[in-house]
Amino acid sequence: MSAFPDPHIWLAHRVAHEETDANGELYHAKYLHLFEKGSSEFMRAHSIGYAEMESRALFLPVREAAYRCHASARYDEPFWIRAGIGKWGRASLRFFYELWDESRKLLLATGFTQHVTVDPAGKIVLVPSWLRRIGAK
């Protein structure tokens, strides 16, 4: 396996009908939804669910995203979403993602989403210390 950010989470998922394309395979345009499930799970695993973020008045809009497709998965197949924060800026952070098959031996896809830290008005703010802390090993 590649060097992946630590800490990170593994989230089990199964290819849903609506996630397949005309070949009956996991459709790449759905990766972003899967990535998002991964980052949400990562945040929850660190006790920072969306309600918590909202109460702390911090939001993480996406500014950039990218992915590579390595192998496909078929409808109803179980697979893994791996997610962690791998890069911190002064007012930004980058989530990294991998999708692995059930055995965690075949890498299906890799990707990232780049986020900025903003307040409810959309104004860019510094990454608060309580957030930065979750990226430390």
In the region spanning residues 39 to 68, those forming contacts with a copy of itself, defined by CB under 8 A, are 40, 49-51, 61-68
State how far the Cα of 30 lies from the Cα of 73, in Å rounded to an integer.
12
Nearer to a copy of itself (CB atom), residue 110 or residue 127? 110
Supply the minimum distance, in Å, between the C-beta of residue 77 and a copy of itself. 9
Residue 6 or 54 having the CB closest to a copy of itself: 54
* Closest distance to a copy of itself from the beta carbon of 137 (Å): 26
Instruction: For 12-64, give the DSSP string.
Output: EEE--GGGB-TTSBB-GGGHHHHHHHHHHHHHHHTT--HHHHHHTT-B--EEE
Residues 2 to 41 in contact with a copy of itself, rule: CB under 8 A: 14, 16-18, 20-24, 27-29, 32-33, 36-37, 40
**Which sign, positive or negative, has the C-alpha torsion 108, 63, 122, 48?**
positive
- The token pair at 97 is 């993602």
Tell me if 127 sits within 8 A of 91, measured CB to CB. yes
Q: Which residues bind a copy of itself (CB under 8 A)?
A: 14, 16-18, 20-24, 27-29, 32-33, 36-37, 40, 49-51, 61-69, 75-76
